[in-house]
Amino acid sequence: MISPLRADVVVTGLVLAIPVFLLGLRGEFTADEVVTRLLWCLGAGWAAVALIRWASSPRVPRSAQRTKAPVGDGGAAGQADAEPEAASAA
């Protein structure tokens, strides 16, 4: 989950709040209405950034999720067994 105080969220919220600020300056909104709507603008900015981040994240193919390589020694044990045989043959 992303923080609502990240820079991209705050900037998006402020861009969405420009009309609210302008309506407050014109006198069509009271100070209480402006403050209340600014919180909604911050919430809308958070939702917009979260949606864009989710949509732009790379997807992992389903076949890659199912077939993961087992965590282990990476086949080093098999190589160690094969090396003495090659050395004795020489």
Q: What is the pLDDT of residue 19?
A: 92
Token representation of residue 35: 């403050």
Instruction: Compute how many other C-beta atoms are within 10 angstroms of the C-beta atom of residue 78.
Output: 10
Q: Is 69 left (phi over 0), alpha (psi -120 to 50) or beta?
A: beta
Tens of pLDDT along 45-82?
889 888 988 888 888 777 766 666 566 655 555 555 55
Tens of pLDDT along 13-52?
889 899 999 999 998 989 999 999 988 988 898 898 889 8
Q: What is the pLDDT of residue 18?
A: 92
Residue 46 makes CB contacts below 8 A (sequence gap 6+) with 2, 4, 9, 12, 13
Closest CA to 3 of 54, 50, 57, 64: 50
Token representation of residue 39: 């919180």
Measured CA to CA, the distance from residue 12 to residue 50 in angstroms comes to 11
